[in-house]
Amino acid sequence: MKSDFVTAISQLCSEKGVTREAVMNAIEAALVSAYKKNFAPAGQNVSAQIDPASGNVHIFVEKQVVENDADGIDRISLDAAREIRPDAQVGETIIVEATPPNFGRIAAQTAKQVILQRLRDEERRIVFDEYHEREGELLYGVVQRIENRTVYIELGKAEGIMAPSDQVSTERYHPGQRLRVYLVEVHDTHKGPQIIVSRNHKMMLRRLFEQEVPEIFNGTVELKAIAREAGARSKVAVVARQEGIDPVGSCVGMRGVRIQNIVNELGGEKIDVVQWSPDSATFVANALSPAQVISVGISEEDKTATVIVPERQLSLAIGKEGQNARLAAKLTGWRIDIKPAGAEPVAQQPDASERETA
């Protein structure tokens, strides 16, 4: 029959979600620490073993073999050594069991502290490994609290941190609110795993498209680039990898259901889905959607695209506060100059060095 000790270990493993091996190693380390503190001279090598069936503890120490003058702490006489190992010689070291009477009671308090620390470390390692493997995924969480504009989100076994720079400026968060967030990265700190999550990361938009559009998930439609101004508007460039598939239509869905699900998740953020093209002029024209484009002149030397639009389409091409042209420039990686037919350029957008890629 298993001892109460072994039963308690099994229960501890179940409650803490850690392996039995980790718990046993922690206890053995604690027993070594307690023995060294109370019994062993400085520098003596000590090890502990726990019988996995009975739970009995055994302490082993290294002792030097001497001719006959042994004090019993770190030395052993040759005759006594040969009772343990018949070929022992003077000057060698041998392993000797040195479990003190009532050692378990004497060491209990010291062992308890070490065990608890090792268990905390093991729990942190398990959480870190679990979430480190999920970097780049979308997670569901519940807002726990908000401190100094930082939102703390319960993610199950761990807590996610969403700094102000990772929040959407148009969204308002409150305790108890259920949110979907993007797991940016996990840091291993002395206080435990620090899990950084975001709502405004452009990769969150990519993951939402992968979830809502089966053609993107299975690779028949490729999402080539994303430009996002979180909470306001985004542009997404897609291309079909299989003949007969409409990449834009696949993303929008029947009656716009697929794109509407993504818009709803992002709190009404407008999303333009445009067709990617290997031809730069065509891609720039598509990126300025919904504006109509008459022509696009490409200058490879300074990575500039000069776009001619109908005069009535000028404000639409530029967008409110230049947003449409700015997002098109980020999406394509081209500096975009927009002008109405027969006029000088009226809009100039960032060059390729300021672009954002998907």
Supply the pLDDT for residue 122: 80
Tell me: cis bond preceding 193? Omega within 30 of 0 counts. Answer: no
Digit-coded pLDDT (tens) for 217-274: 999 999 999 999 999 999 999 999 999 999 999 999 999 999 999 999 999 999 999 9
HEC assignment per residue over 169-213: CCCCCCCCCEEEEEEEEEEEECCEEEEEEECCCHHHHHHHHHHHC
Digit-coded pLDDT (tens) for 35-77: 888 777 777 788 888 877 777 788 888 888 888 766 667 788 8
Sorted by where each begins, the domain ranges of the chain are 4-131, 135-197, 201-276, 281-358
Digit-coded pLDDT (tens) for 323-340: 999 999 999 999 999 999
In the CATH hierarchy, which fold is given to the domain comprising 201-276? Answer: GMP Synthetase; Chain A, domain 3 (3.30.300)
Per-residue pLDDT band at 21 (split at 50, 70, 90): confident
* Among the listed residues 30, 35, 25, 27, the one whose alpha carbon sits nearest the alpha carbon of residue 5: 27
**CATH architecture entry for 281-358:** 2-Layer Sandwich (3.30)
Per DSSP bridges, beta strands 75-77 and 304-309 are unpaired
Place of tokens 């969480």: 141
* Domain 281-358 in the same topology as domain 135-197: no
Instruction: Say which CATH superfamily domain 4-131 falls into.
Output: NusA, N-terminal domain (3.30.1480.10)
Digit-coded pLDDT (tens) for 147-157: 999 999 999 88
Per-residue pLDDT band at 344 (split at 50, 70, 90): low
Supply the pLDDT for residue 354: 45
This prediction's pTM: 0.73
